[in-house]
Structure 1
């Protein structure tokens, strides 16, 4: 209970204070051809989520060397994101430092993804030392997947809560208090941030954005929690099987792979910013930002629950992977023919929102 109180209060007061400070330090998002919001919006949501979550973890304890190292690296990720918000860093610089931070944590904590499970039905696939490289790629990819998803109010925050909730449920079932507590601290901090971002009851004069600092933070932390969850315990069993991670990260992962494939196919940089993400497609089809948010978060939640079901009932890992790949192919087909699939859904949402 104390973790909930500290995380919510520290995040709340950080948001109130940082909204005023953001003007002085230049952390403001200005409208342009890709950003259609009104006026300049403070980019301090992610920084405040970091303050709230880690302050509560350090206050409640226990303060271990692993928590301190995670805190230091997460702080580096947040600083990198804040600098990107302010100075628009190049892709090369971002990827370089994201990799450096990930490598430092891998070697300090001696945690990395060492196996892929029985995803081919031929037995456990062990990666050995190559697991280190795989982990670096996976963490950096997830950081940028959440960063790319940050296009409408509430989407990254709500999607992060979905992923963290899935990990928290599995941690609770398996009595892993450390991972559960970190997830809980982040979920509470993100929930407070979402109130300031979405402003559901129109109580706030100005909203705040998460910024690259926030999207990088949640992408990093969620993936690192997955890395920790996949490390075999004393009984030789991990918290969940590797294939389940795909379901926990379904929306940002599918969106990133699909958008990067389309960019490469058009002979463009896979990191080029544009308005072709899934949320942009919904908006062009006439959905409001709230309607698009509802549809996409529901999509992510259903995937998370499906992954938990496969994990709970110990569905064959090759089967779980096959189902995920099937859904991904349908996702790619869907975004190419979105108008056909969303026409009736749009009518239903319009009736519900009247």
Structure 2
């Protein structure tokens, strides 16, 4: 599908950023897997493609081993793989879901589909730059850290962040449903 240089640049940033963002939110048991599962469910609802059903089944199959008590960890490789699988599949599908739409609709769709991982990463990046520190230096300023440092249980943190991600995906479904699906 032909695309303008701006769209191509946005897609490259989205793929790299979302892939990394899934790794950055993998700070508490079950968060990356649950977010990926919800996103896979959304992909299945929007496209009906069997790939999303397989991805959903695989992630739900691993989830009991990662939450509430991690018997296995995703690690950097597992969480970035989840991010890459999700973003690469939507990169392939978005041109068909948003055919003929402008860049702002594309960017809104990408942000909403990226949900909590992308919003958390953008927030952390901006916060670090404003404070004058390196945007690539790790800290305890991610949403899951901020909520747990305020005394919420890890299950409570998970419930809040997964609910926010579900709301973001629901808004993406409304946006994409209004634009040709």
What's the TM-score, normalizing by structure 2? 0.86
Equivalence for 2:146: 281
The answer to which structure has the higher helix fraction is 2
Aligned to 2:55: 186
Q: Distance in 1 between matches of 2:136 and 2:115?
A: 19
- Give the alignment of 1:105-254 within 5 angstroms: 114=3, 127=4, 129-172=5-48, 180-199=49-68, 207-232=71-96, 242=106, 243-254=108-119
Any gaps of 5 or more consecutive residues in structure 1? 1-110, 115-126, 173-179, 201-205, 316-354
1:66-85 to structure 2, matched below 5 A, reads: none
The answer for the alignment partner of 1:267 in structure 2 is: 132
Tell whether the 8 Å contact from 2:30 to 2:68 is kept in structure 1 after alignment: no
CA distance in 2, matches of 1:182, 1:237: 25
User: 1:131 deviation in Å?
Assistant: 3.7
Aligned partner of 2:171 in structure 1 is 306
Cα distance in structure 2, aligned partners of 1:269 and 1:220: 24
Per-residue Cα deviation, 1:250-286 (whole angstroms, up to 9, x for no partner): 2111100110111111221111111111011110111
Tell me how far apart the structure 1 counterparts of residues 92 and 148 of structure 2 sit (CA, whole Å). Answer: 37
Shift in CA distance, 245/132, structure 1 to aligned 2, threshold 3 Å: closer
User: In structure 2, how many angstroms separate the alpha carbons of the residues matched to 1:257 and 1:151?
Assistant: 16
Cα RMSD for the two superposed structures: 2.3
Q: In 1, Cα distance between the equivalents of 2:62 and 2:54?
A: 12
Mark the CA change 1:199 to 1:253 in structure 2 (over 3 Å): closer, same or farther.
closer
The number of residues matched between the two structures is 175
Q: Using the TM superposition, give the Cα deviation of residue 133 of structure 1 relative to its aligned residue in structure 2, in angstroms.
A: 3.3
Runs of 4+, deviation exceeding 4 Å: none
Separation in structure 2 between the aligned mates of residue 191 and residue 221 of structure 1, nearest angstrom: 15
**TM-score, length-normalised on structure 1?**
0.46
Compute the displacement of 1:130 (Å).
Answer: 4.7
> By how many angstroms is 1:248 displaced?
1.6
Larger relative contact order (CA 8 Å, sep ≥ 6): 2
Kindly indicate whether the alpha-carbon contact (under 8 Å) linking 1:168 and 1:183 is maintained by their aligned counterparts in 2: yes
